[in-house]
């Protein structure tokens, strides 16, 4: 009996413009980048030889993510520029320099992966494809990717996908739900609209994605109506969150709902 050989993963060098990654996730979806989720998904598809991260970590928003970044790589390049102008361009310079260095080194990585949406990386992508015979894969956040890159690289992957965003949103929406006043809840559409409005205003989450996430939470039973006593003589339906079910499905939640 012949055993099927496991398909060998392509080898890859990975370069992350973390300023772009962090800011784009915040602006588009209102969340911190799911660094570990992205890295683990990448490793399922590629044999990651080296991974480099570039950012000005004097910025507190960037610095707060350093513990997570150190879980995936030791190659973290500080790009702080003391000049008052063109700080983003300074990070681009460091990243481009490293990519060209690696192109001229003797390495057999088949694929170059770059997390950015900046059109400035079109030239190095063309060089790697035409002269080095490499694949160039761009990962970028939906709505924040230069149109030029789509025609200059091997593939563009819009990240994160909907399921990843929803998994990031659920714990945020649960905590928001816990913090809201607990009136007698009877009209589902109104209650979900209240949560959606609060999520958009207070957490700056994407409204349409919040609505989709809440609908899915209802379908899966994370949010549901339960009959509860509001007095010794009266029962009413209350919208509650099922913390046990959420935890069983892998969500890490700090507080318990009052009504769970």
Q: Tell me the per-residue pLDDT of 109-142, one tens digit each, with 9 for 90 and over.
A: 999 999 999 999 999 999 999 999 999 999 999 9
For residue 10, the number of C-alpha atoms closer than 13 Å in the C-beta half-sphere is 13
d(CA 105, CA 142): 33
Which tokens go with 170?
Answer: 């659920």
pLDDT at 257: 42
Calculate helix-pair angle for 87-104, 122-131, nearest 10 degrees: 10
- Listed in sequence order, the residues at least 6 apart from 191 whose beta carbon sits closer than 8 Å to its beta carbon are 185, 239
CA 65 remoteness from chain centre: 12
Query: Where do we find the tokens 């935890």?
Result: 247
Q: What is the pLDDT of residues 139-166, one digit of tens each?
A: 999 999 999 999 999 999 999 999 999 9
**Token output for 234:** 């009266």
> What mean pLDDT is predicted for residues 28-57?
95
- Residue, of 231 and 110, whose pLDDT is higher: 110
pTM: 0.85
Cα distance between the two ends of the chain: 55
Q: Which domains does the chain have, with CATH numbers?
A: 10-160 (3.40.50.1010), 166-248 (1.10.10)
- What's the token pair of residue 251? 């969500």
**Residue 245 CB partners (closer than 8 Å, separation 6+):** 220, 221, 222
Q: Name the pairing type of β-strands 223-229 and 235-241.
A: antiparallel
For residue 59, what are the contacts with CB-CB under 8 A and spacing of at least 6? 19
């Amino acid at each position: 009996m012949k055993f099927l050989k496991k398909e060998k993963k392509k080898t890859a060098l990975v370069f992350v413009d973390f300023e772009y990654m962090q800011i784009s996730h915040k602006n588009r979806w209102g969340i911190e980048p799911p660094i570990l989720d992205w890295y683990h998904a990448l490793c399922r598809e590629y044999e990651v030889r080296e991974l480099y991260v570039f950012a000005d970590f004097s910025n507190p928003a960037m610095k707060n993510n350093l513990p997570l970044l150190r879980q995936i790589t030791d190659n973290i390049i500080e790009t702080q520029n003391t000049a008052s102008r063109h700080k983003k361009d300074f990070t681009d310079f460091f990243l481009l320099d490293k990519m060209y260095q690696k192109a001229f080194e003797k390495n057999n990585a088949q694929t170059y992966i770059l997390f950015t949406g900046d059109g400035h990386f079109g030239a190095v992508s063309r060089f790697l494809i035409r002269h080095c015979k490499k694949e160039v894969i761009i990962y970028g956040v939906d709505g924040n990717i230069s149109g030029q890159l789509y025609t200059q690289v091997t593939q563009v992957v819009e990240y994160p996908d909907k399921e990843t965003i929803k998994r990031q949103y659920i714990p945020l929406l649960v905590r928001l739900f816990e913090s809201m006043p607990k009136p007698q809840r009877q009209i589902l559409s109104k209650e979900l609209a209240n949560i959606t409005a609060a999520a958009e205003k207070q957490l700056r989450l994407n409204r349409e994605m919040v609505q989709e996430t809440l609908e899915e939470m209802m379908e899966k039973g994370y949010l549901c109506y339960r009959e509860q006593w509001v007095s010794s003589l009266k029962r009413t339906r209350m919208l509650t969150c099922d913390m046990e079910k959420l935890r069983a499905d892998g969500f890490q939640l700090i507080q318990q709902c009052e009504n769970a």
